[in-house]
Amino acid sequence: MRSRSIEPYVEAICEKGCQSVREDMRLLSQGVVLPELKDLDEMARKMVFKELRSIMAVYGDGCPVVQPATSEKEEEIQHEYRKKNTSR
């Protein structure tokens, strides 16, 4: 891998959620090749791991608890609620 960006690979792993990312990072640190990264060489996988480590450092040792909205309307309501409560 020379010219391809690692960004799509990092995003694919991050989309699985915080706890899965932490587990994937543990596996990567042990040398396991994740299915999402099978097309990358060792150097690129190390770059993905480094990027994941940087991203996850924001969360410290925990993972935020986020419950997805069950519908577009509920998501809209939650957005309006957050907007009202953060603008005070």
pLDDT in tens, 58-76: 888 777 765 555 566 666 6
pLDDT at 58: 86
How far, CA to CA in Å, does 42 sit from each of 12, 35, 74? 18, 14, 43
Binning pLDDT at 50, 70 and 90, where does residue 1 land? very low
pLDDT at 84: 67
pLDDT at 60: 82
pLDDT at 62: 79
Between 20 and 77, the more confident residue is 20
Query: With contact defined as beta carbons under 8 Å apart, do 59 and 31 qualify?
Result: no
How far, CA to CA in Å, does 35 sit from each of 5, 13, 22, 75? 17, 10, 15, 32
